[in-house]
Each structure stands twice: as C-alpha cells, then as structure tokens.
Chain A
Amino acid sequence: QKEVEQDPGPLSVPEGAIVSLNCTYSNSAFQYFMWYRQYSRKGPELLMYTYSSGNKEDGRFTAQVDKSSKYISLFIRDSQPSDSATYLCAMSAYGNQFYFGTGTSLTVIP
C-alpha cells in the first residue's frame, strides 16, 4: 500500500465551480500536510500548509485535515482558468521525509 494515495484525474470543471481535491494516507504519524500547485514545466508552488488537524483558509482555497480518517482535502472556490494545473498533496511525520501524492490534473474551462 502506498503511503499517500491521490486520484490522478484528470478533473475538468467549468469556471466558477467549486473544486474538491483529496488525498488519503496510511501513516498515522503524519502531522505536516501540504498542498502544492504545479504548472507545466515549473516547480511546485506551496499553496497551503497545515500542522496537525483542522481547517485552514486562504482566499479561495481551504485545506482540511481529518486525521481520524487519514484524509486531507483542498477546496477551490470560484475556480478560474488560471487554476488549471496539477495539484500535489504532501505530508510528513517529523519533517525529515516527505511523501507526495501522484498529483491531480485540473482543467478549469472558461
């Protein structure tokens, strides 16, 4: 079983839709959770960072961590064509080793 599972998509939504991206994991020791956005031929950009459980909101983005279910989510409200990218989840137990999802490809159609 992989440490981190992420549906690769592709996911295609109309502009203005709410997007839900998810990852599941198996290691209950994970306590650092991140979401990255990666445009084609660019390095990943840190979007959201959460320590332990709970929700975090930043503009149109909301990250949720449910440690009891070993499940994390990223919600994008009022999605824009510029949100079209690959979204990677990442997590770590002690900050020395990170595990990445395979990435979900998102296309927002104008």
Chain B
Amino acid sequence: GAVVSQHPSWVICKSGTSVKIECRSLDFQATTMFWYRQFPKQSLMLMATSNEGSKATYEQGVEKDKFLINHASLTLSTLTVTSAHPEDSSFYICSALAVPSYEQYFGPGTRLTVT
C-alpha cells in the first residue's frame, strides 16, 4: 500500500508555543489530505480537509486560527497548532487520498503533549 509519513511522531511543548506537524505522501501525489484528532479509546475526529493550492475546509467547532493548515504541494500538508494549551494535547493523525480509487492512507500519528 501507499506510504504516508508524519513528523514528528512525538512532541512536548510548553503552553503558549506553536507546534508544526508535517504530513507527507511518500510514493503518490495527494491533492486532498485530511487531519484528524483522536482521544484515547475513541474514534477519529475529522478536523479539516486540506486541498492542494487552496484553503482548508474546517469541521464545525474547529478553530481555523488555532489549527493552521497549509497544503503547499501534492505531497506535503502541515498542521500548525498555534498558542498551544494543555487541552490541545492529543493524538493527531493525517491521511492522504489516493485517486482515482479514493483509498485513504493514514500517517503513523503525532502525539502532542502541552505542558
């Protein structure tokens, strides 16, 4: 299957700082990438849909000014958590959409801890 990487896999930051998470599709081009958040023992919660060359579409309740998404190329999307607070601590997972099959491939996830 196709490979999606995420970096970093784990990050600890202080409250008030910003953190950038990278999502890369390694062996295919993805015009669409998704960003999810997952709490322990819960399912995936879609945060936003990222389309290459255009603004991301955010789900209801997700602050677009806090979670900045940039999909600058067909293989890279970034999520920046700005002014992070402890309640932003979570597991963030990206995925990339392969066309024309519409198979969605996930990255390994990034565990963010805000102290």
Contact = CB atoms under 8 A, between A and B. Distances in A.
Contacts of A49: 101, 103
Interface residues of A, number: 22
Interface in B1-21: 1, 4, 6
Nearest to A47: B1
A18 B111 CA distance: 34
B91 A44 contact: no
- Say whether chain A's binding surface is mostly helix, strand, loop, or mixed: strand
Given A88-B44, A95-B97, A96-B32, A41 B91 contact: yes
B104 interface: yes
A41 to B, nearest CB: 7
A65 interface: no
Given A88-B43, A96-B32, A36 B106 contact: yes
Contacts of A59: none
Contacts of A103: 43
Contacts, number: 49
Contacts of A92: 102
B104 A98 contact: yes
B108 A42 contact: yes
A32 B106 contact: no
B41 to A, nearest CB: 8
Given A46-B1, A95-B97, 15 more contacts: A36-B106, A41-B109, A41-B111, A42-B109, A43-B4, A43-B93, A43-B106, A44-B93, A46-B105, A88-B43, A96-B32, A98-B34, A100-B44, A102-B43, A103-B43
Interface of B: 1, 4, 6, 32, 34, 42-44, 46, 49, 91, 93, 95, 97, 99, 101-109, 111
23 contacts: A32-B102, A41-B109, A42-B109, A43-B95, A43-B107, A43-B108, A43-B109, A44-B44, A44-B93, A45-B1, A45-B106, A46-B103, A46-B105, A49-B101, A49-B103, A51-B101, A88-B43, A92-B102, A95-B97, A98-B34, A102-B42, A102-B43, A103-B43
